[in-house]
């Protein structure tokens, strides 16, 4: 073999085997003149480094995680959840709404209440699918609230094909966590971990029932931590690229140790399917919510009572700050804990209870999980100086009460949203009243989303005249009336296309 052939082998073959520094070491021998008398020695060196290269390749492949044992051990604790919701279109009202004797609606209502049950037809039940996981051998199961929302029947199916009827112990809208209970013992369970020390780049595994395909396993990494999503200000979501699709909701997100670190909850998609952006509720928040649901049936959170926004680079410069950070207070709610503690508009909260606030989205989850009734140190920047304020948090009110508190008390043409009903309403101005033919009272429906209002048949541009026999004055009055209603079915009188129409509104529990 010629020198030229040996040099060719060194230059072409060895670099393809390189995984570390072995290629650099071997390359030094190529600088030396390789003659026929060195052939055997060079050949031996080449063979040795080919073996080293192959071994390093195998080691490199061995670094990829093996999820098989994790799935075998904890897969049986992941369950499929199916729900049914009966659209009870036939409603029996207890009493005829009280109207003035000369009301033009009197005859119409009497005919409606006498014959209404024959006019309405029952619709077939609606079904939905989701996932969940068993956290205790005596039958407690965690899932998403939206999986079981407004369900009449909840069925839990295990991997061994056993089925159980589940009872809803409680659900928390703000975290989208629900706790179920089945009557069984000796069930397989997951191991709960902690989300406090997670790092971006960690491997994660999701198990669930996407599109009804049970026990589907997908893997990925943690893409980001502390994500704030619209309308979910009290959850710092874990973002992953593990494939999550409809039906995965409520299923567990595992780390490599087989511990549950999150509850798969949402995806970002323009198509309805997976697009590489999945979001999970951190397990530490889940554990707090579950404990409160189990012991109290509801979840209490801390409440400060401020409207905040991010500090941009331009705002930071205007406030004399070295860099953008903190949560800028844009409004302080009257009679709120913040108002009583002395917070002011323009204060920038940079630390709360010893936790640094870099972005405004970080503050609500920290406040929500903080203790109630005890003074908490808050560090703010006020007029260029750092000030410490002690605040005693109150309990977070309902969303409707918060909407009312931040409203303008019925003045002007502003809108309010009832998340409980799934609609937004606005006061009617004089021009609109003339257009729809309503002289006084009532509220105009601006938007209807999926929820009780849509199920009842309420539409955009309807004017809500009466709710549960109470005549509606304006948007604030409407929100107060709705907030006092219990989980029941109530009559709602709307004005649509110049004619009155009663609809049956079925209200969920608060």
Instruction: Write down the pTM of the prediction.
Output: 0.64
Distance between CA 177 and CA 216 in Å, rounded? 21
- Length of the chain as a residue count: 510
Shared domain check, 201 and 288: yes
Shared domain check, 425 and 451: yes
pLDDT of residue 68: 93
Q: Is 146 a catalytic residue?
A: yes
Contact 343, 367 (CB under 8 A): no
Q: Indicate which CATH number applies to the domain containing 167.
A: 2.40.10.120
Q: Is 176 a catalytic residue?
A: yes
Within a domain: 94 = no
Shared domain check, 179 and 36: no
Per-residue pLDDT of the chain (510 residues; tens, 9 = 90+): 455 544 444 444 444 444 444 444 444 444 444 444 454 444 555 444 554 455 554 544 457 889 999 999 999 999 999 998 765 544 444 444 555 555 555 555 554 444 444 444 455 565 668 999 999 999 999 999 999 988 889 999 999 999 999 999 999 988 999 999 999 999 999 999 999 899 999 999 999 998 888 889 999 999 999 888 876 678 889 999 999 888 899 999 999 999 999 999 988 877 766 778 899 999 999 999 999 999 988 888 899 999 888 888 888 888 888 899 999 998 888 889 999 999 998 899 999 999 999 988 889 989 988 888 899 999 999 988 999 999 999 988 766 555 555 554 444 455 577 777 888 899 988 888 888 888 889 999 988 988 889 988 999 999 999 898 899 999 888 988 888 888 777 888 898 888 888 888 888 766
**Which position among 82, 146, 241, 347 bears the catalytic label?**
146
Q: Which residues, 6 or more positions from 320, have their beta carbon under 8 angstroms from its beta carbon?
A: 384
Shared domain check, 407 and 380: no
Q: What is the DSSP letter of 77?
A: G
**Which position among 172, 176, 347, 468 bears the catalytic label?**
176
Structure-block tokens of residue 70: 């994790």
The count of structural domains within the chain is 4
Structure-block tokens of residue 257: 């140790």
Helix (H/G/I), strand (E/B), else coil: 143:
strand
Shared domain check, 270 and 389: no
pLDDT of residue 102: 56
Q: Indicate which CATH number applies to the domain containing 451.
A: 2.30.42.10
pLDDT of residue 123: 54
Shared domain check, 230 and 81: yes
Shared domain check, 444 and 483: yes
Shared domain check, 416 and 391: no
Domain of residue 264, residue span: 67-87+123-300
Single out the residue in 361, 395, 429 at which a domain terminates.
395
Within a domain: 26 = yes
Single out the residue in 256, 277, 300 at which a domain terminates.
300
Within a domain: 489 = yes
Within a domain: 154 = yes
Within a domain: 461 = yes
Shared domain check, 371 and 226: no
Q: What is the dihedral of CA 335, 340, 341, 343, to 10 degrees?
A: 50
Within a domain: 47 = yes
pLDDT of residue 166: 95
Within a domain: 99 = no
Contact 113, 96 (CB under 8 A): yes
Shared domain check, 281 and 240: yes
Shared domain check, 222 and 271: yes
Q: Which residues, 6 or more positions from 47, have their beta carbon under 8 angstroms from its beta carbon?
A: none
Single out the residue in 348, 379, 395 at which a domain terminates.
395
Q: How far is CA 506 from CA 79, 404, 491, in A?
A: 30, 23, 9
**Which position among 249, 278, 336, 360 bears the catalytic label?**
249
Shared domain check, 270 and 182: yes
Within a domain: 107 = no
pLDDT of residue 148: 93
Distance between CA 83 and CA 143 in Å, rounded? 12
Contact 398, 411 (CB under 8 A): no
């Amino acid at each position: 073999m010629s020198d030229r052939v040996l040099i060719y082998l060194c230059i072409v073959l060895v670099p393809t085997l390189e995984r570390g520094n072995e290629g650099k070491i071997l390359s030094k021998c190529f600088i030396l003149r390789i003659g026929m008398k060195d052939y055997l020695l060079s050949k031996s060196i080449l063979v040795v480094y080919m073996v080293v290269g192959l071994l390093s390749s195998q080691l490199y492949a061995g670094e990829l995680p093996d999820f098989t044992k994790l799935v075998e051990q904890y897969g049986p604790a992941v369950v499929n959840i199916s729900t049914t919701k009966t659209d009870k279109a036939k409603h029996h009202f207890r009493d005829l709404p009280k109207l003035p004797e000369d009301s033009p609606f009197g005859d119409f209502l009497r005919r409606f209440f006498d014959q209404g049950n024959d006019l309405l037809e029952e619709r077939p039940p609606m079904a939905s699918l989701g996932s969940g996981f068993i956290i205790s051998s005596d039958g407690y199961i965690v899932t998403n609230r939206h999986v079981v929302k407004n369900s009449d029947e909840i069925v839990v199916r295990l991997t061994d094909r056993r089925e159980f009827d589940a009872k809803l112990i409680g659900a928390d809208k703000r975290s989208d966590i629900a706790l179920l209970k089945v009557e069984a013992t000796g069930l397989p369970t997951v191991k709960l971990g902690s989300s406090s020390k997670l790092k971006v780049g960690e491997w994660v595994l999701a198990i669930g029932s996407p599109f009804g395909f049970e026990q589907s396993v997908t893997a990925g990494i943690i893409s980001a931590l502390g994500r704030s999503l619209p309308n979910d200000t009290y959850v710092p979501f874990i973002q992953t690229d593990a494939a999550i699709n409809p039906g995965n909701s409520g299923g567990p997100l595992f780390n490599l140790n087989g511990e549950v670190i999150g509850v798969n909850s949402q995806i970002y998609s323009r198509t309805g399917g997976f697009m590489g952006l999945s979001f999970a509720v951190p397990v530490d928040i889940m554990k707090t919510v579950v404990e409160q649901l189990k012991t109290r049936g509801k979840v209490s959170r801390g409440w400060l009572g401020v409207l905040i926004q991010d500090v941009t680079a331009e705002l930071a410069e205007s406030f004399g700050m070295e860099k953008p950070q903190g949560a800028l207070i844009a409004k302080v709610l009257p009679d709120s804990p913040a108002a009583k503690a002395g917070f002011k508009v323009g204060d920038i909260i940079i630390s709360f209870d010893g936790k640094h606030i870099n972005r405004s989205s970080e503050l609500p989850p920290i406040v929500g999980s903080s203790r109630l009734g005890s003074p908490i140190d808050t560090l703010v920047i006020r007029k260029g100086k750092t000030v410490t304020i002690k605040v005693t948090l109150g309990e977070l009110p309902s969303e409707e009460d918060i909407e009312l508190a931040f409203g303008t008390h019925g003045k002007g043409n502003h809108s309010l949203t009832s998340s409980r009903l799934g609609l937004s309403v606005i006061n009617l101005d004089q021009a609109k009243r003339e257009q729809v033919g309503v002289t006084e009272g009532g509220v105009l429906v601006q938007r209807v989303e999926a929820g009780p209002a849509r199920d009842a048949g309420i539409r955009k541009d309807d004017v809500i005249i009466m709710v549960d026999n109470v005549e509606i004055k304006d948007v604030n009055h409407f929100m107060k009336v709705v907030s006092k209603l219990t989980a029941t079915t109530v009559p709602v009188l709307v004005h649509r296309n110049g004619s009155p129409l009663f609809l049956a509104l079925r209200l969920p529990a608060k």
